[in-house]
A and B are shown apart, each in its own frame.
Chain A
Amino acid sequence: EAGVVQSPRYKIIEKKQPVAFWCNPISGHNTLYWYRQNLGQGPELLIRYENEEAVDDSQLPKDRFSAERLKGVDSTLKIQPAELGDSAVYLCASSLMGYEQYFGPGTRLTVT
């Protein structure tokens, strides 16, 4: 069984530029999560999807972050414009019935 796939693995951009991350969850998993993990910290939830619906986006900075999950499968997280403080690892996870979560390898974003 394939795991959670994320791309790109690494991204370096200048501040004020846009950036997008893509996630393909495990087949059949209805719940998809995006987390941000700062260096030396645990992951923090940005948004949670149940199928196509964003059921928890309370910690998503909506002025610059957006996300979508079309057809309840793949998901894209976008930042526009990026700021220096957005440098972090962005993790995608999926789960079935909302218990054990399976994480992708993450995208390491560096904003210069």
Chain B
Amino acid sequence: SQQGEEDPQALSIQEGENATMNCSYKTSINNLQWYRQNSGRGLVHLILIRSNEREKHSGRLRVTLDTSKKSSSLLITASRAADTASYFCATDKEGAQKLVFGQGTRLTINP
């Protein structure tokens, strides 16, 4: 069973615009991670945010975490065609060291 639910399931924007994806989960977590998957390839780790952190940045990526609402968001600023991919959130339950992935958001960047 999958804990995380991403919203929207699909997102299409113009190059240069910002893209925001959301993730909700059900149980307490140790950390939450975001991964990217290009078509036909394995997943690539983007960013990890711990349960005691509220916001984290990495280049054009900004992740927020609200543990009271059990939700996270991933913001990609100044999108590029190369950002076209599926984005997954994955939660690591407290003490479990076991990632549970959501269904992903398919992001398409139009030139």
Are the CB atoms of A42 and B88 closer together than 8 Å? yes
Assess A105 versus B41: contact at CB under 8 Å? Given A42-B2, A45-B98, A99-B48. yes
- Contact partner of A100 (CB less than 8 A), chosen from B4, B33, B41, B104, is B33
Q: Which residues of B contact A104 (CB under 8 A)?
A: 42
Are the CB atoms of A4 and B101 closer together than 8 Å? no
**Segment 85-112 of A: residues with Cβ below 8 Å from B:** 91, 93, 98-106
Are the CB atoms of A102 and B103 closer together than 8 Å? no
Q: What interface size band does chain A fall in? A: 20 to 34
Are the CB atoms of A43 and B101 closer together than 8 Å? yes
What is the CA–CA distance of A45 and B35 in the complex, to the nearest angstrom? 15
Contact flags B23-37 to A (C-beta < 8 A → 1, else 0): 000000001010100
Q: Which residues of A contact B90 (CB under 8 A)?
A: 42
B12 an interface residue at 8 Å Cβ cutoff?
no
B99 an interface residue at 8 Å Cβ cutoff?
yes
A14 an interface residue at 8 Å Cβ cutoff?
no
Binding site for A on B (CB under 8 A): 2, 4, 31, 33, 35, 41-45, 48, 88, 90, 92, 97-104
A-B contact pairs, 5 of them (CB 8 A): A40-B103, A48-B98, A93-B42, A99-B48, A105-B42
List 6 tightest A-B contacts by C-beta distance, closest first. Answer: A42-B101, A103-B42, A98-B97, A103-B43, A100-B45, A105-B42
